[in-house]
Each structure stands twice: as structure tokens, then as C-alpha cells.
Amino acid sequence: MACVLRLLGLLFVLVCSHSLPLPSFHGVVATGQREFDYFVLALQWPGTICQATHHCCSSNACCRSNPLPEFTIHGLWADYNDGSWPACCSDSDFDIKKITSLLPTLEKYWPSLYCSSSSLCFGGKGLFWAHEKHGTCSYPIIQDEYSYFSTALGLYFKNNMTEVLNNAGILATNGEKYPLGDVVATIKRAFGASPLLVCKHGSLEELRLCFYKDFKPRDCVTGSDILNGMPRSRTSCPRYVTLPTYTPLGLADSRKMAFEAFDALTVA
């Protein structure tokens, strides 16, 4: 009798587990990487990156006829507290159809600033590598592709760092230098936690905002690592930084190029 009951119990568990809807990302289990600790919203300053553009192509937003006037999204990353991060947590294919309604917004605020497309986790090349590399590792907080991109966009719009800096008189110009401490303090005041800044040749290239798993702001760097609001060992920024503008090579109409890029994606 006990044996029959145990068998019935096992059957019940099996039937139930098959009827539960499985989330799209269940990758941390799939690759054995442990669950992440916190999120990083990485923003990039197009002025710094696009200044270095030497040739144009349809996928590169630096090539649009009007310069990009604000920070754009580099990615939403799932990171570990020790400074490393999981990557490529499941073999769940990116499906552009699942984010059709987000494409015009992604095209504007999360464009590629390069001509070469990134390598996808499990072979191939693509614009939306971020989904495979980082999105799949955001499980169990973010469970599918649409949520990954819409969460990143939501955090970006809620934390408009271009506006925050502009309101403090820290503006895109060629040449004006701003004290790094002022940039950090302005962001910290508005956001509520310390950012991490990345520079290239004295220009701000990237601004990273960090979040707990409930999306409340947290410091990107903590404790004794911090000197003048920036991490001692990890900052690449000098004491004064610029937010440069750039002149696009101006080879084509932006909308046409953006749509060509998305066409290429859907065909691929």
C-alpha cells in the first residue's frame, strides 16, 4: 500500500512539473553558473565613442546624420559582488518577434555604436547579443526576452543621467573639462548611489548605475576602494573629464539606415 502511495505521489509531482509554465530563461541552472548578485545599467556617451568612427555602415548609430545627443544604453548586466559576472547562461535563442513593439525605442536609445556586430554566445553574430550574454543570466529576476529589454528601457528612462548632468551645467562640449568629483557627486545626488565611470583619453565613455535585485539603487563600488567618489583601482578617469560632441560622417539618412539594420537582423 505504502509503495502504491509513493508511486502515486511521484506521478503527481511529474505531472505537475510538466504542466507548470517554464520561464524562457532557466539558464543559470543550465550552465551551472550561480545566480547573480546585482544589476548594472551601463550607459555609453556617444560623443566619445563616435569620435573614433572612421567608416560608416547601416548598423552604426554614430553614422546617423544627427549626432546622438544623450547617453545611450550599452547593456543591462547581471554581475557578481566580486567584480566578475556570469555570461551566456542558457541556449535560449533571441527571437526578434518577441520584442517587435520595443524596436523603435531600442533603435533610438539602445543602438549599436560600432560597425562590427558582436559574437553571439552560441555562434553567429548579432546586434542583440546582450540578450544572450546578459539577459539569460538575469534569471530568476528577469524571466524572458521581452522583460529583459523592457526592464532595461524602464530603468534608463527613470534615471535620465543626461538631464541630471545638464541641469547641473555639465554639458556636451568640445573642450570643457569638468571635475570628476562634481560629475560623480551630481549623479550620486540624483540617483541615490555611487556610479562607476569609465573614460577614454580623458573623455567620459561610460556611466554605470547599479541596482539591487529589487531595482533599488546601490553603490557600484563600496568600502575602502573609494577615493573621491571613484574606485581607486578601477577608474580610468582623470581628475577632470570632458563630454565631447562629434560630427557624424553623415553618410546616410538615419531612419533608412536604422531600418536597414533591423531588416538585416530579421533576415539573419
> What is the number of other CB atoms lying within 10 angstroms of the CB of residue 60?
23
- Percentage helix, strand, coil for the chain under 3-state DSSP, each rounded to 5: 40, 15, 45
Cis peptide leading into residue 86 (ω within 30°): no
Coil, helix or strand at residue 196: strand
Binding site residues, ligand U2P, CB under 6 A: 40, 75, 77, 79, 85, 118, 130, 133
Question: Which active-site residues does the annotation give?
Answer: 74, 132, 134
Q: How far apart are CB 12 and ligand U2P at their closest, in Å?
A: 42
| CB 139 to ligand U2P: min, Å | 16
CB of 127 to ligand U2P, least distance (A): 12
**Nearer to ligand U2P by C-beta: 79 or 107?**
79
Exposure of 159 by Cβ count < 10 A (0-12 exposed, 13-18 middle, 19+ buried)?
buried
Contact between residue 68 and residue 62 where contact means Cβ atoms under 8 Å apart: yes
Nearer to ligand U2P, 75 or 195 (CB): 75
Nearest to ligand U2P of 114, 259 (CB atom): 114
Compute and round to an integer the Cα radius of gyration of the chain.
Answer: 21
Nearer to ligand U2P, 85 or 240 (CB): 85
For the bound state, the minimum distance from the C-beta of residue 111 to ligand U2P, rounded and expressed in Å, comes to: 14
